[in-house]
Amino acid sequence: MSKSRKEKSEQEQVLLFELPRTQVKTDSAVGFSKVTVLAKGSLSLNAQRILRLCASQIREDDPPDKVYSFSIADFAEIFNLSNDKIHTKIKQALVELAKTVIILPIERGRVTSYISWGQIYDAKVEINLDPALKPFYQKNLSGKYPLQYIRGFSYSYTYRFYELFLYKLKQSKSDKTEFYISVDELRQWLRIEDSYKNFADLRKRIIIPIVADINGEKFSVKSRIVENDYCNLQVEYEEVKAGRKVLGINFTVTKKENMDIIEFHNTGDDEMPVFEALNSENKIAFEAFKKWKVSQVTISDAYKKYGSDKFYKIYLNVLHALETNKVRNVTNYAANSLRNGFTYEAPEHPKKEDKKETMEVPALNPDILLETEKIEERIANMSDEEKEIVLQKFIKSNQNNSLTLTIISGKTFDEITSSFMSRKLLIEFLRKEEK
């Protein structure tokens, strides 16, 4: 390095840490909304950081033309960056924010950029957000979180996933949520339709790094080992396959006990239809989907999309899948059925002369379903002596039904109730016995 370049570098280092600071702190709150979360777009790591640093300063009563600023020293300190070429990095990120297209989920899609303009000085950065985007960081927010929780992220996609996870937690109204996203939806959301055609690459380049990044696990980013212990979430994932093909991913997101999200706001975008307005069948269906831990938004969206009749048939589809023992994870299966409109049509009854031996599986009847709850309560409160008496009666009543006997033979009462199919058969027996 020449003497002049060395001197210039040293001057920049002194400048960086001696210049005046702005009021941006790690506890500054970053707002997010349904629109900003679901918008289609991606940015580089430093562009993501700058956008959130800017968002942490936005207030609801800010005028449309307000310019936001932060010191370069604060930017470096908050995100634990060295001053090596930091001016150049910020300049590149500003150009990216001005040129990159983001598609907002409004009407049929509103196309805009992130910022109208940006300016970098020796001491600070000034930014004017695009007027089409700014309102969604001001009003109707889904929630806020402190900069502290994202300062350790070392991967660009993590920022988008983190806010998506918060949004899903907000919808679930709990400290834990599970949701499914298809591979196609993920690619469209991140605008990487032409990248990572092989899912193995998508897993390696996006899924594994963002999960590790949020969980605070060590992983390599450009030959650099990073470890994030700031984030307030814990994430797990499971691939959903059809044969060898990966269709999508089930994410499980849990809020860490010792860390809080600043606040969630009720924007009304995840409200359920008026329960009292539903017919008796769909009241049962709604309650069942909620019991299966499907998010209220997914349930509500399906009801609005498909209408009353089809909504109930989707519910019957899930019940049928459960009764035929085809479901491993009822939450994921039910949610996927709602999103895709999978329905069940009851088959025609066989003709009388067709005397094939069948198991007595309860019909999909709303009144029967209501009775089931009482029987479930009775089972839960049975003494050991009563369990044995019921078990012997149950076996005796099925002496002429070899298929049912095959399912329950040699099992204890508790073993029968722990299997979905045999439990349903037992419930049907108890229902008939009570009558």
pLDDT per position as a tens digit, 207-251: 999 999 998 876 555 544 445 567 889 999 999 887 888 888 999
Do 133 and 172 lie in one domain? The reply is no
Do 105 and 53 lie in one domain? The reply is yes
Quick one: pLDDT at residue 225? Answer: 47
Beta bridge partners of 350: none
Quick one: pLDDT at residue 174? Answer: 81
Q: Report if residue 204 sits inside a domain.
A: yes
Quick one: pLDDT at residue 109? Answer: 76
Quick one: pLDDT at residue 127? Answer: 94
Quick one: pLDDT at residue 312? Answer: 84
Helix, strand, coil % over all residues of the chain, rounded to 5 = 50, 15, 35
Helix axes 384-397 and 420-434, enclosed angle (nearest 10): 90
More confident residue, 93 or 398: 93
Do 130 and 7 lie in one domain? The reply is yes
Quick one: pLDDT at residue 265? Answer: 61
- Domains in the chain, number: 4
Q: Which two tokens stand for residue 193?
A: 């339709």
Q: Report if residue 347 sits inside a domain.
A: no
* Sheet containing 143-146: order of strands: 29-32, 143-146, 263-264
Do 40 and 136 lie in one domain? The reply is yes
Do 253 and 282 lie in one domain? The reply is no
Q: Which residue type occupies 380?
A: A
Do 245 and 190 lie in one domain? The reply is yes
Q: How far apart are CA 43 and CA 160, in angstroms?
A: 9
Given a cut of 60, whether residue 12 has pLDDT beyond it is no
Given a cut of 80, whether residue 157 has pLDDT beyond it is yes
Percent of the chain with pLDDT over 70: 76
Quick one: pLDDT at residue 432? Answer: 80
**pTM, two decimal places:** 0.59
Q: In terms of residue numbers, what domain contains 168?
A: 151-265
Q: How far apart are CA 435 and CA 433, in angstroms?
A: 5
Do 424 and 318 lie in one domain? The reply is no
User: What does the pLDDT look like over 305-364, one tens digit per residue?
Assistant: 788 788 888 888 888 888 777 777 888 888 888 888 888 765 554 444 444 444 444 444
Q: What is the CATH number of the domain that holds 25?
A: 1.10.10.10
Q: Which two tokens stand for residue 268?
A: 């009304």
Final residue in a domain of this structure, among 113, 141, 169: 141
Q: Report if residue 355 sits inside a domain.
A: no
Given a cut of 90, whether residue 274 has pLDDT beyond it is no
Quick one: pLDDT at residue 358? Answer: 42
Quick one: pLDDT at residue 243? Answer: 81
Q: Report if residue 322 sits inside a domain.
A: yes
Span of 81-95, 198-212, 213-227 with lowest mean pLDDT: 213-227
Contact criterion met (CB below 8 Å) for 55 and 158: no
Quick one: pLDDT at residue 60? Answer: 87
Q: Report if residue 216 sits inside a domain.
A: yes
Instruction: Looking at mean pLDDT, say which of 251-255, 265-269, 344-348, 366-370 comes out highest.
Output: 251-255
Do 137 and 156 lie in one domain? The reply is no
Q: Report if residue 279 sits inside a domain.
A: yes
Q: Which residue type occupies 375?
A: I
Do 79 and 174 lie in one domain? The reply is no
Q: Report if residue 239 sits inside a domain.
A: yes
Tell me the CA distances in angstroms from 29 to 180, 254, 264, one per residue in order.
28, 20, 12
Do 7 and 111 lie in one domain? The reply is yes
Given a cut of 60, whether residue 50 has pLDDT beyond it is yes
Q: Which two tokens stand for residue 405?
A: 């006997």
Do 132 and 157 lie in one domain? The reply is no
Quick one: pLDDT at residue 17? Answer: 47
245-255 and 233-242 strand pairing:
antiparallel
Q: How far apart are CA 200 and CA 65, in angstroms?
A: 45
For range 254-283, the mean pLDDT = 60
Span of 134-143, 364-373, 413-422 with lowest mean pLDDT: 364-373
Final residue in a domain of this structure, among 241, 265, 289: 265
Q: Which two tokens stand for residue 192?
A: 């990487």
Q: Report if residue 361 sits inside a domain.
A: no
Do 80 and 98 lie in one domain? The reply is yes
Going by C-beta distance under 8 Å and a sequence separation of 6 or more, which residues neighbour residue 205?
196
Final residue in a domain of this structure, among 100, 116, 141: 141
User: What does the pLDDT look like over 162-191, one tens digit per residue?
Assistant: 999 999 988 888 888 888 888 989 999 999
Average pLDDT, the chain: 78
